[in-house]
Amino acid sequence: MVKRVEIRQSVMAADERHARAIRKEMGRRSIVMLNLIGSPGAGKTTLLEATLRKASFRCAVIEGDVATSRDAERIAAAGAPVVQINTKGGCHLEAHLVAKALESLPLDEIDVLFVENVGNLVCPAEFDLGEDGKIAVSSVPEGADKPLKYPHLFHQALAVILTKADLKPHVAFDDALFWNDVTGLNPKAPRLEVASTRGEGIGDWISLVEMWLRSKGEGR
């Protein structure tokens, strides 16, 4: 006999449970958790290094990469607790991987948790890790057409950061196109331009994170 059964459950139900548990735990501890997403080479790790050097809040970092612990070594050298996740071919991080990484981080001693996702503008945008928000990181040399070509990430980003802004005089980059497209996709998101290696714009970024920290602390 053939029978039709209703299931009505999310495909990612198991992982969504992990994401909900993480969000609850971070809420309880008033930790701001940010999921950094951008292409390979967009400058995500360099942005984090510059942030760690200047921030007065206490940070920890989860690094997601297909292979190697190079990014984690850079973050450790900058003085923050860090866990490296190797996805061994996986193009994005999932909440169950983050849940496991959290076990080895000193959550009692931090205010902000940065998750640097696998370098990729497509897949990481689809997966909830339990974060407060996704931060879209796009660099000047990648070109100004990225927001419209990868709309999902830019649409849901909590903030959009344009990195390597100091390279503008050296490459053809259409500022107006980039920011107009970002506005069209996500009018509410704060926008920042940074040159991480020179420390330019990092203060504004840190102020923004501090604002999220304050509003999360008040919401407790």
Partner 1 sequence: MHEMSLVEALMEALLEAFEKHPNWLRARRVELHVGRLRQVVPEAMIFCFDVASRGTPLEGACLDLVEIPLEAFCEACGHRWGPEDLVFFCPACGSVDVETVAGMDLDIASMEVEEGDG
Binding residues for partner 1 (CB under 8 A): 1-15, 90-92, 94, 122-123, 125-127, 151-152, 155, 184-188
Q: Residue 8 or 220: which CB sits closer to partner 1?
A: 8
Tell me the C-alpha distance between 66 and 135, whole Å: 20
H/E element, 61 = strand 59-65
DSSP strands (E only) in 71-208: 82-86, 112-116, 133-139, 159-163, 191-193
Residue length, the chain? 220
Q: Residue 29 or 152: which CB sits closer to partner 1?
A: 152
Tell me the C-alpha distance between 130 and 153, whole Å: 16
Q: Residue 41 or 151: which CB sits closer to partner 1?
A: 151
Minimum Å distance from CB 79 to partner 1?
33
Q: Residue 107 or 122: which CB sits closer to partner 1?
A: 122
Minimum Å distance from CB 96 to partner 1?
10
Q: Which two tokens stand for residue 136?
A: 């879209």
Minimum Å distance from CB 92 to partner 1?
6
Distances (CA, A) of 143 to 46, 95, 154, 211: 19, 31, 15, 30
CA 50 to the chain's CA centroid = 15
Minimum Å distance from CB 123 to partner 1?
4
Minimum Å distance from CB 126 to partner 1?
6
Q: Residue 21 or 107: which CB sits closer to partner 1?
A: 21
